[in-house]
Amino acid sequence: MDKIPNDLLEPTLSAESATKPIYSTQAGFLLAFLGGGLAITFFSALNSERLGRLVRDLPVYLLGIGVIAGIMYLRVTQPHLFEISDEDGKTTSYYIVAVRAAGLLLWGSYYWLHSKHYRVMAVTGTPHPSPWLAAGGCYLAGIGIMNFALRAMVAQL
């Protein structure tokens, strides 16, 4: 009779492999809508750091930052792309709509990136940590960096 290998009977999870719970999808969605792409990128990077996979996810975050930088560059160099004029000659800018839409698209991609962890937390009933401090910091950093970068781009022209 064959012996059962001992390694099959040993637990595969240990205290070292446990990760911290990540922030909720609702907090991320709200931050993406209000703060835009940079804010949600920073917030999702905090989730990756809590999961111990920030280095692995870094290319995705750099791509997200590139998308927002591209929108900002187009805003400065091609402002007519974000403006619509009516019959009276009144011009309306849709730049903030583009930033929020990009933020929501990035939120969706970051949700997909961590979807396995969200499902595990839902099944196990693990509570999400309070997002207030982290989301507030990411909001201020995202808005501040975008305003600084836009002013720097305009000054270079």
pLDDT at position 5, please?
64
pLDDT at position 144, please?
96
CA dihedral (129, 130, 133, 137) positive or negative = positive
Average pLDDT for runs of 10 along the chain of length 157? 62 56 96 96 97 96 97 93 84 89 97 95 94 97 95 89
pLDDT at position 50, please?
96
pLDDT at position 12, please?
54
pLDDT at position 2, please?
63
- Its pTM stands at 0.85
CA dihedral (34, 100, 146, 86) positive or negative = negative
Cα separation, 17 vs 14, in Å, equals 5
Reduce the DSSP state of residue 18 to 3 states and report it.
coil
Instruction: Determine which helix (DSSP H) or strand (DSSP E) holds 62, and give its type and residue range.
Output: helix 54-77
